[in-house]
Amino acid sequence: MKIQKNVIGKNKQIYNEKKAWGVLLVVFLASITVTMSMMKVPPLMDELIEDLNTNTAIGGLFMSSFMVAGVVLAIPVASLLNNWGPKKCGVIALGCIIIGSIFGSSAQELPIILLIGRSIEGIGFAIMMVTAPTVISMWFKPDKRGLPMGIWATWVPVGLFIIYNLAKTIEIAFTWRGVWWFNAIFALIVLIIYYKIVDFPLKEWEYNKKSEKTQKIKISQGIKNTNTLRLTIIFMVIGMSMQGYSTWLPTYLKNTGLNATDANFSASLITMGMIPAIVLAGLILNHTKNHKYILTTGLSLTAIILILWFSFGNNFSVIPWMIAIGLSSGLTPTCIFTMASETVIRPEFAGIALAMVNMGYNFGAIIGPPIVGTIINKLGWNPVKYFVVIPITITIILAISIIEKKK
């Protein structure tokens, strides 16, 4: 409180750099929690399908139902963030993870119960996905934002790695429902920490009392920004292709001869490439103005590696391929989140821009898993490669157009 009083008295701020990195750590932990919630389905897909007596097409809905809220709530959450603040939004997000996990764990032979639980969890994901990068934009200056945004952007691979490697062990001991309960308890612990630590950093960020007219202007600013729209489309394609691919990757690896534990571990190794790539992208973005070139490079490398994997992957060890896919795809999220916050003309518009790119990703993630599941169910595994690779290749053209567009 002493630091807060001195700083406020001098320049009306409650900010210090040490506190900023502490907030980043807690927001990162909360983001990992919602990722674990999202990604607990793929390593247990076979068990869920068998226990709930369903098929791969419905199994895809176990993932896409989670993402629906991200499309419906992205823009409203950005506006509510102005009114409620990061503390309340984060607590609500984690509360939804707790409630949705407990509710979903009660599913017996009716997949609808699990789908409802997944939808509730998805609300938490939607809120956190907008809140977390906005909080980082609040606490870090634009020229210092690349690295913390890069660190935070590892939330998906870190959460994925944790849950992929814990899920089977917990499932063996407590069935798949034990994983849902583990997620709920973990989220409760993080909620308590989040409530104690995270809040507004600056008085000027407390624009939550502004008029309804101002809120409408903010939404309009995000929708009309052509660079933000391009980034939204690119992230939508990434969500569709990569979420569709990663949802069924453990199942694919099991079908090629690996046991469940080895398949989940191998699939999780994508994160071992993504984590350093995401952080590296943050460092590069901090030291260069060519942010759009980094995005184009990441998309190009992802398309090339995936083409090679689908063409030759079965002839070699799966491990280096997973790491290579992670390294190439890991350059993209940091670029998109950082560039989205750069497209705005005022700091408070950052939430809308970030909400839009998140909405794009979530929409892609909704349609990707069930489409891939249907393809597998009707045509087998081979056509999946076209659904994954071709859209990503097309986004390279769109990224090039962003490079040619001046801010």
Count: domains in the chain: 1
Confidence of residue 348 (pLDDT cuts 50, 70, 90): low
How far apart, in whole angstroms, are the C-alpha atoms of residue 394 and residue 22?
39
Q: What is the pLDDT of residues 185-217, one digit of tens each?
A: 999 999 999 999 988 775 444 444 444 444 454
CATH number of the domain enclosing 68: 1.20.1250.20
Of 352, 292, 346, 366, the closest CA to residue 119 belongs to 366
Give CA separation, 247 vs 45, 96, 218, in Å: 9, 22, 35
Q: Using the predicted structure, report yes or no on whether residue 18 has a pLDDT greater than 80.
A: no
Task: For helices 291-312 and 270-286, give the axis angle rounded to 10 degrees.
Answer: 160
How far apart, in whole angstroms, are the C-alpha atoms of residue 319 and residue 367?
28
Confidence of residue 91 (pLDDT cuts 50, 70, 90): very high
- Contact (CB, 8 A) for 244 and 388: yes
Burial class (CB in 10 A: 0-12, 13-18, 19+), 267: buried
Confidence of residue 100 (pLDDT cuts 50, 70, 90): very high
Q: Using the predicted structure, report yes or no on whether residue 109 has a pLDDT greater than 70.
A: yes
Q: What is the pLDDT of residues 228-279, one digit of tens each?
A: 888 999 999 999 998 888 888 888 888 888 888 888 888 888 888 888 888 8
**334 lies in which domain range?**
2-404
Of 391, 390, 364, the closest CA to residue 239 belongs to 364
